[in-house]
Amino acid sequence: MIENQKIRPAKVIGPLGEPLTLETLPPADTTRWVVRRKAEVVAAVNGGLLSVDEVCERYGLTVEEFAGWQRAIDRSGMPGLRVTRIQHYRSLYERQQKY
């Protein structure tokens, strides 16, 4: 049986519709995280290309930081990842939850 083996796709679809592979992901030494790069990493995890632990180790992120990126995309899509608009999208989400 292959229960314990990890089966990973060779590529997944990125946030802009392009194919993502391990080679096309942002480099491991990335320090400037723009919206597109964050979204690519989240898409890689959601598609099974990498695990959360692998992403955190590869990019030096905390699990909480990565989870924040996932929440932002789930709530507001790629615009929710913009650092300058975090408060706006957070308050918008909280208002939506009230109704």
Q: Please write the tens of the pLDDT for every residue from 52-72.
A: 999 999 999 999 999 999 999
- Highest average pLDDT, of 2-11, 37-46, 82-91, comes from 37-46
pLDDT at residue 89 in the model: 61
Whether the predicted pLDDT of 78 surpasses 80: yes
How far apart CA 44 and CA 12 sit, in angstroms, is 7
On whether residue 46 sits in a domain, the answer given is yes
Range of the domain at 43: 35-95
Residue 20 lies in a domain: no
Asked whether residue 30 is assigned to any structural domain, the reply reads: no
Specify if 50 maps to a domain.
Answer: yes
Distance separating alpha carbons of residues 72 and 86, to the nearest angstrom: 8
* Structure confidence at residue 1 as a pLDDT band (50, 70, 90): very low
Mean pLDDT of 3-9: 71
Residue 18 lies in a domain: no
3-class SS at 89?
Answer: helix
Q: Helix, strand or coil for residue 20? A: strand
| Paired strand residues for 54 | none
- When divided into structural domains, the chain yields a total of 1
Q: Are 43 and 25 in contact (CB under 8 A)?
A: no
